Amino acid sequence: MPALGLGVFQSAPEQTAAAVETALQVGYRHIDTAAAYGNERQVGEGIRRSGIDRADVFIETKVWPSDYGYDETLHAWEKSTRKLGVEQLDLLILHQQAANLFDRTIAAYRALETLLADGRVRAIGVSNFTPAAIDRLMDAATVVPAVNQIELHPYHSQPATQKADAALGIVTQAWSPIGGITFYPGPWGDERRNVMQDDTIAAIAAAHGKTPAQVMIRWHLQQGRSAIPKSTNPGRIAENFDVFDFDLASDELARIDALDTGRESGPDPDRVFGEQMLFPIPED
Ligand code: NDP
């Protein structure tokens, strides 16, 4: 898996194909989408428009909890591959732990194991899983998740989850890697501090002639994480990939680590997954 990918959460369908095409043209080879984002079709279109060989692009998508359950999750694979226009997924992950529906979560993961054994996916994983949820999963599963995609930016770097993932050989993948969840509009409240405007990150960025986003991405990559920054702006898509010509020193990495507040800006992964969150994923 290329460690750096393009995220497309909240990328409007009409902007998504262009963003994916631009990203592939500037060098990205990994796209992170989800059934719940409503733009898998446009991700597939952007890949085809780019002219890059399908085999050279790593496609990651996610199963939403309304499709959890063994047969339901096998069918979710059908829906996602049909929309993306591909025959195999590189990585398919469970979008939420849905701890209050965990029997269905486990059944969904068993379906991922079947898809892996059949070669319909190349790797399987999870998202928003706490260490306790990973332990519960591993009591029932045979395949260790390849990836755990979690909220992870300088204000919420989740050292305990990173450590638990690493102990099992799970790659931690950062969502909101440049802190989008700390500043984009949403139902998350107004008490958030915008990590993009953090003074420490600004000082480190200035010292390297780089931007705060580039410094955060570099921090992820140097610490062995995957990161999937989202943008639909061509200049920012290119900026977020222009991170391979500088190195952060260990004291700079430590200064960014020290910004952790221990509090998420997005949803609590342990929250009860209510009926209203189980919206259906369309067939087409
Ligand atoms: P990001 O940390 O990627 O931030 C995205 C925001 O930053 C957007 O508002 C974007 O606006 C802006 N932006 C992008 N590049 C720059 C830049 N260089 N300078 C300034 N602003 C910039 O947040 P996301 O929450 O989107 O997370 C990334 C991806 O992670 C998602 O797209 C999705 O794939 C995944 N994700 C997964 C979740 C899960 O539950 N598993 C939850 C949330 C996200 P613009 O587009 O205008 O550039």
Report how far ligand 1's centroid is from the alpha carbon of 119 (Å): 30
Residues 50-75: pLDDT tens digits? 999 999 999 999 999 999 999 999 99
Q: Looking at the domain that runs over 6-181+224-230, which CATH code has it been given? A: 3.20.20.100
Mean local confidence (pLDDT), 248-266: 97
Domain range list for the chain: 6-181+224-230
| Region of residue 227 (left: phi > 0; alpha: psi -120 to 50; beta: else) | beta
Whether 144 shows a pLDDT value over 80: the answer reads yes
pLDDT given at position 187: 76
Whether 186 shows a pLDDT value over 80: the answer reads no
Residues 109-126: pLDDT tens digits? 999 999 999 999 999 999
| Cα 28 from Cα 22, distance rounded (Å) | 9
Active site residue 37: yes
Q: Which of 24-33, 181-190, 248-257, 274-283 has the lowest mean pLDDT?
A: 181-190
**Contact (CB, 8 A) for 139 and 161:** no
Residues 263-275: pLDDT tens digits? 999 999 999 999 9
Q: pLDDT tier at 189 (50, 70, 90 boundaries)?
A: low
Catalytic residue of the set 28, 37, 68, 155: 37
What ligand 1 atom has the least distance to the C-alpha of 231? 46
Report how far ligand 1's centroid is from the alpha carbon of 113 (Å): 29
The partner residues of 91 in beta bridges, in order of sequence, read 60
Best CA proximity match to 96, nearest among 234, 264, 284, 278? 278
**Contact (CB, 8 A) for 115 and 109:** no
Which element (helix H / strand E) includes 136? helix 131-140
pLDDT given at position 192: 86
Pocket test for ligand 1, best of 1, 92, 173, 175 (most atoms within 8 A of CB): 175
What's this model's pTM, rounded to 2 decimal places? Answer: 0.98
Ligand 1 site residues (CB inside 6 A) read 7-9, 32, 95, 127-128, 149, 175-181, 184, 196, 211, 213, 228-233, 236, 239-240
Report how far ligand 1's centroid is from the alpha carbon of 142 (Å): 33
Q: What percent of the chain has pLDDT over 70?
A: 100
Q: Describe the strand order of the beta sheet including 30-32 as a list of residue ranges.
A: 6-7, 30-32, 58-63, 91-94, 124-127, 147-151, 171-175, 226-227
Phi then psi for residue 259, to 5 deg, are -80, -10
Mean local confidence (pLDDT), 258-264: 96
Which element (helix H / strand E) includes 63? strand 58-63
| Cα 4 from Cα 232, distance rounded (Å) | 16
